[in-house]
Amino acid sequence: MGQYKADELAELYEELTGLVVADLEFMRDVIGGLPAKEKDLRQFCQHHLGLAGDELERAIQRIQHEELGEKSVPTPEGGELEHKATYGLKVFPRDAEGHPGVSDHQIKACLSTAATRLGIFSRRMGSKGDFREVGLARGHGPSVSVSPGHLRFYNGDGQALGKLDYHKLMGSPSGPKGTRSIVTDCEFAPAGSKLSIELRFSFAKLTESDIAEMFAFAQEIGLGSARSMQYGKFRVLNLDIRPNKRARKEEKTAKRGQAAS
């Protein structure tokens, strides 16, 4: 039986898949959507609220135990429906060195949504699995991260982003059980931030035109949270599509066969 080492299997994967490299620039702020952990809350209180010492610790305890989550609000006199207030703190995923960005599954989800809206997955049978299940998304250039599955945001100078500011997003959805007031402080990467991505997946069923169309639609779908409020939209500065090596060989062989006949 044949034996394969890890580097040989990695080389085989590259032979079987094509490469797409894209450089993105965000036209709108990108909103973080992960619920904050204690370290995120501490950073929020330190850098955004400007607290330190005992005041910092009291604020962290108060927000953790009294403010985060859903609370009932006294119903006004004569009111029939219950009113609830919800407060949240949302952040970006960060890598082991503390740099914010997006996860690989978010990239694939954005492009998969674009392909679905374009009808590509339905007319190219099997392409959805080739892209979503066998495909790989990772950082390229300045977006390469020390943590697997993480892609870093960077600025116009090619430097990874660090400390970010917060937007306060508010909403008041109503339902059969009453009204909720939702207030969320959300970490955001400012418009002008950049992201470079590298994708690998089988080109057996998808064409270069399909891939270009997916990115064209993805620009308007956007990345991050609160996309219904038009956050996270980007433009593609550069899109480099390279079919896999084996596909090139098969294409050349087919052309030679056609020329010979």
Do 84 and 181 touch, CB atoms closer than 8 A? Answer: yes
Do 244 and 215 touch, CB atoms closer than 8 A? Answer: no
Rounded Cα distance between 83 and 86, Å, is 10
**pLDDT of the chain along its 261 residues, tens only?**
589 999 999 999 999 999 999 999 999 999 999 988 888 878 888 877 787 888 878 877 877 776 666 555 555 555 554 556 677 889 999 999 999 999 999 999 999 999 999 999 999 999 999 999 999 999 999 999 999 999 999 999 999 999 999 999 887 666 555 666 778 899 999 999 999 999 999 888 999 999 999 999 999 999 999 999 999 999 999 999 998 766 555 545 545 555 555
Rounded Cα distance between 199 and 177, Å, is 45
Among 138, 147, 144, 245, residue whose Cα is nearest residue 199? 138
Structure tokens at 199: 């994708």
Do 192 and 26 touch, CB atoms closer than 8 A? Answer: yes
Instruction: Give me the pLDDT at residue 249, please.
Output: 54
What is the CB-side half-sphere exposure of residue 83 using CA atoms within 13 A?
Answer: 10
Rounded Cα distance between 259 and 261, Å, is 5
Q: How many residues does the chain have?
A: 261
Quote the pTM value: 0.81
Instruction: Give me the pLDDT at residue 244, please.
Output: 78
Do 86 and 180 touch, CB atoms closer than 8 A? Answer: yes
CB neighbour class for 253 (10 Å; exposed up to 12, middle 13-18, buried from 19): exposed
Q: Map tokens 């109503």 to a residue.
A: 174
Rounded Cα distance between 182 and 86, Å, is 5
Do 53 and 147 touch, CB atoms closer than 8 A? Answer: no
Residue 18 DSSP SS3: strand
Instruction: Give me the pLDDT at residue 74, please.
Output: 55
Instruction: Give me the pLDDT at residue 44, please.
Output: 82
Return all residues near 219 (Cβ < 8 A) that are at least 6 apart: 233, 234, 235, 236
Rounded Cα distance between 79 and 77, Å, is 5
